[in-house]
Structures are given as structure tokens and as C-alpha cells.
Amino acid sequence: MAKIHTHYDNLKVARGAPAEVIRAAYKALSQKYHPDKNPGDEKAARIMAIVNTAYNTLSDPVRRKEHDEWIASEEWEVEWLESTGAEETPGRPPRPDAWEPKVPDTSARPRPRLMRDPRWWLGLATCFVAGAGAAVYLMEPPQGKLPPMLAWAGKPDPVPSIPTDRPDELGTDASTEGWARRFGGEGSAPPPEIKALAVTQLVVPARAPDCGTDLQTLTAPSGDPWPAESGYLPGYPVGNSGSEMQFLIDNSANASPIFVKLYDLDRRSNVRHAYVQARATFVIDKLSAGKYEVRYQNIIVGDGKTECLNGRRVQLRQAAAFAPGG
């Protein structure tokens, strides 16, 4: 199973570590990566920011409980996606609880060689003669078998059709124009195979920062820093692979980057996690057909607390990007 990177990993402690161990680990890492001891070291400053975020989360009982619940949810989702992929991949042994093993039939005896049995040939010839007689009987006109009033005359006399279109001009073949065309002069070609790609677009509107709905952190929920460019977040599984659908996330009108989750309404789980830069677009492609919902959240970069309107924490906002699939 793919490992989920957490704040416990950032502080290098176990998930069930007590508060004293977490405090000691934070103190040790602070002494190593503090900016005062590493002046001008951007890497040390970035690591120290990650350590501060991890300690602020794990030192607060409420936030630590939320983080533990998030870890359990993500691990369950990864395990479910990997087990589903293992069942659909040919060549791998099935799970013991997925299908019942086939029990070989030990009572079956080897069949005799039918090609050497004259009774088999006699039965085959009888069936052939009977089938030929039935075909001849059905193809005969029924006038001689039924009274004249009940006899079916077969196909009706052809009615001459009156052409409604004007004849083709000299040297012009109308059959070669339009959708249907002749194929090499012999019959008609098979209809072309047409595949449609379902494309759904989500346009994120421009808005002011709001503490009640925006993320105020330098790192992703997994504990890793946000990517430098738009793309999928590392450490998350990429599920529902296919070639039938794609989503265009248009964040060009928004001055803040966004955190995007693509939610499968049938499986009731997140199958894609993406980060889209401000004034940019990103395409979530290579998706199988299905019913999805795009959920996104703005991210406050830098010190945006002075621009916040309140300090409430609410759930992830859902966008109207519903796409039915087959």
C-alpha cells in the first residue's frame, strides 16, 4: 500500500507518540533547522516552516484528532483503490474473499472419440437431410398447398417508384457526396468508428480571501509543500484511469491558487487531487466514464490573515461540475 506522508513523518515520531515526545522532537528539529542557526539557507527555512506546521497541528488535541481521521480516511481510500486495481489487472491471483475457487469435476470421464463412431455420422447425415427438406418446403410457393382464397402470393408486385429528385448532372455521381460513399466500387464501406470525449469545464470566479473557507497553510494536507506548478499532488493515488472524460479547471480569473479534489459519486471517494496556480488552468484528463463532482478550496499564500473576514473553519466547498457517464 502506498504510504501517506503525515505530520508525524515530518516530526519523525510515531503516530501514537505522547505530547512529551512530540515536544522533544520539535525542540530537536528546531535547534537543527532554526533560521538563526542557518542564515541564508532557504532549504532550512522551508524545513522549519514544515516542522512548525506539523507541531502546531499535533500539539493541538482537536487538530491532531482531525489529522488522525484524515490519515485513516486516506489510507482506507488508497487500500480500496489498490485492491480494486489488483482485481481488474489480469495475471494476478484473485483475493480469497472476492471469488469462490473453481472445484474441478473429478467424476468426469474422458469422452469417446466421436469421429470413429458410425452412429455419430448417421445422426449428422439425418439432421442434414431433414434441414434441407425443411428449407425446400419453406421456399416453395404455398398456392398448391392451400385453397386459392388462403394462399399467399409471396412477394407483392413491385410498384414503380417515382423519382423526386432531379437526375444527376453529366459526369456527377451523387452517391459519392455526403455521408455514404462507395468503397472501391464494391459494396459500401463499414461505418466509421466514432468516439466522443466528454469534456467538462469548471470556471473558478475571482474572490477576496476569506478565513472561513480558504486554506491558510504553506503545506498540503499531506504535509508536503505545495507544488511550484499546477499538477497532481504527490503522495495521492491517481484512480479511475480511462480515456472517456476530462475536466478543465479554469482558475485564470482568480488571484489565489486552489486545492482541487475530484469526487466519484458512485464510489463515494476522491480519485484525483490537484493543485492549480493562480491565473492558470489545469486539465484532469485520462478519466473513465462516470459521475463526478469537483470540489475546490482557495489557498491563502503568504501572510493573508489581515485580509481575512473571519476565523471560522468550514468544509470543502463543492463546485457545480457534475458530469454523467456511462
Q: pLDDT tens-digit profile of 240-254? A: 999 889 999 999 999
Q: Name the band, by pLDDT with cuts 50, 70 and 90, for residue 225.
A: confident
Return the pLDDT at 70: 92
Q: At what angle do helices 42-59 and 61-88 cross, to 10 degrees?
A: 100
Average pLDDT over residues 225-235: 89
pLDDT digits (tens, 9 = 90+) for 129-177: 999 888 888 877 655 555 555 555 555 566 666 655 555 454 444 444 4
**What integer pLDDT is reported at residue 27 of this predicted model?**
92
- How, if at all, do strands 269-276 and 292-298 pair? unpaired
**Residue 298 confidence (pLDDT) above 70:** yes
Q: In the chain, pLDDT over 90 holds for what percent of residues?
A: 29
Q: What is the pLDDT of residue 146?
A: 53
For residue 312, name the pLDDT band (cuts at 50, 70, 90).
very low
Q: How many CB atoms lie within 10 A of CB 6?
A: 22
Q: Contact 36/51 with Cβ under 8 angstroms? A: no
Domains, the chain, with CATH or none: 7-87 (1.10.287.110), 198-318 (no CATH)
Determine the Cα–Cα distance for residues 220 and 276; give it in Å rounded to an integer.
12
DSSP-assigned beta bridge partners for residue 276: 258
DSSP 9-60: HHHT--TT--HHHHHHHHHHHHHHH-TTTSTT-HHHHHHHHHHHHHHHHHHS
pLDDT at 96 over 60: no
Share of the chain above pLDDT 70, in %: 62
Q: Which pLDDT does position 113 carry in this prediction?
A: 61
Q: pLDDT tens digit string along 249-292?
A: 999 999 999 989 999 999 899 999 999 999 999 999 999 999 99
Q: Cα separation of 220 and 51, whole Å?
A: 13
Of 52, 56, 82, nearest to 67 by C-alpha is 56
**C-alpha cell recorded at residue 39:** 542564515
- Give the model's pLDDT for residue 176: 44
pLDDT range class, residue 320, cuts 50, 70, 90: very low
- Start-end of H helices in 159-203: none
182 has which bridge partners?
188
pLDDT digits (tens, 9 = 90+) for 187-213: 455 555 555 566 688 888 987 777 766
In the block, residue with C-alpha cell 489557498:
299
Over range 307-326, report the average pLDDT. Answer: 49
Burial of 316 (0-12, 13-18, 19+ CB in 10 A): middle
Longest pairwise C-alpha distance within the chain: 114
Question: pLDDT at residue 307 above 80?
Answer: no
pLDDT at position 209: 72
